[in-house]
Amino acid sequence: MRGPGKTETRIVQKALECGASLAGITGVEALAASRSYAGGKRIACAEKGHSLLVLSLAQGGHWPEFDWWDSQPGCTQGNRRLAKIMDQVIHWLGEKEQIQSWALPYNIEKGGIFLKGAAILAGLGTIGKNNLLITPAFGPRVRLRAILIAEELTQTRAGEFNPCESCDRSCHRACPQEAFESGVFDRKRCSIQMRIDKLARGAVIGEMGGPCLEALIKYCRACELACPLTGP
C-alpha cells in the first residue's frame, strides 16, 4: 500500500497549522469495516464522502476549563475550538484544493462517527486500558472531531504503540465508581459518576474564554488524569 501523497500531507499540515494538536486520515470504508461498526452498525455519512480527516486537540491539565460543560453552543471551550479549526480547514480545502468537505457532528445519533475508532485507523493512537484513545504525544488528554472529505485519500498510519502493556493500571484504581473492577470498562458505572457530576454543577469563574460566571459541569476525568502518559 502506498503511503500518503502530497495532497494528504498538505491536508494534515494545514490542520496542524489551524491549531489541531494531531491530525490523520482514514477511509470511510475502512472505518465501516472496523470493530467499531460490527454487528450491523452503519455510518450515516457513508454515501456522501470517501475519506475522514480526524482532528485531535490536546486537553492538558493546565487548562481544565477546556473540558467544562457550559450553556454555550458547543458545550465546551475545547469543542468550540475544534469547531473553529474544522471551519478553517474546510474553507481551505474548498478554496485551495477544490475538495468538498463537511464537518461531522460529534454525536452518533446526529450523524457523527465513532471517533476513537477513526482516530486509531488514522494513526493517532491506540485504545488504552482506560477505554480512552492514548496518543504518543499527549496520552489520553485529547478530544476528537472529524471532517468528511469527498475525495478518496490514502490513509495515514503510525508505528506500533502499546503504552499499557507494562502499566500498573493507575487509571483503574482512580475511578470513583470502580468501573474497571471486572478488568474491562463498565459504561453503566461510569454513567453513574456522570449523573453525579451533572447534579453537582456549580457557579465557577471561567478563565480561558474571559471572565464569566455560570453553572458549569466538571465531568469526571479521573482515569484520564491518572494516566502517566500526560504529554507536555
Q: Which residues on adjacent β-strands are paired with residue 202?
A: 216
Q: Which cell is 42 given? A: 452503519
The pLDDT value given to residue 231: 63
Q: Which amino acid is at 66?
A: F
Strand, coil or helix: 143: strand
Query: What are the tens digits of pLDDT across the range 131-178?
Result: 999 999 999 999 999 999 999 999 998 778 889 988 999 999 999 999
Whole-angstrom distance, CA of residue 171 vs CA of residue 14: 34
Whole-angstrom distance, CA of residue 97 vs CA of residue 90: 10
Q: State the pairing for strand pair 212-216/133-134.
A: unpaired
Query: What are the tens digits of pLDDT across the range 9-66?
Result: 999 999 999 999 999 999 999 999 999 998 878 898 888 899 999 999 998 666 677 8
The pLDDT value given to residue 180: 96
- Give the Cα-Cα-Cα angle 55, 78, 179 (nearest 5 degrees): 90
The owner of cell 488514522 is 122
Asked whether the whole model's pTM tops 0.75, one would answer: yes
Q: For residue 150, which of 69, 229, 48 has the smallest C-alpha distance? A: 48
Query: What are the tens digits of pLDDT across the range 63-101?
Result: 677 888 888 888 899 999 999 999 999 999 999 999 999
Whole-angstrom distance, CA of residue 110 vs CA of residue 88: 22
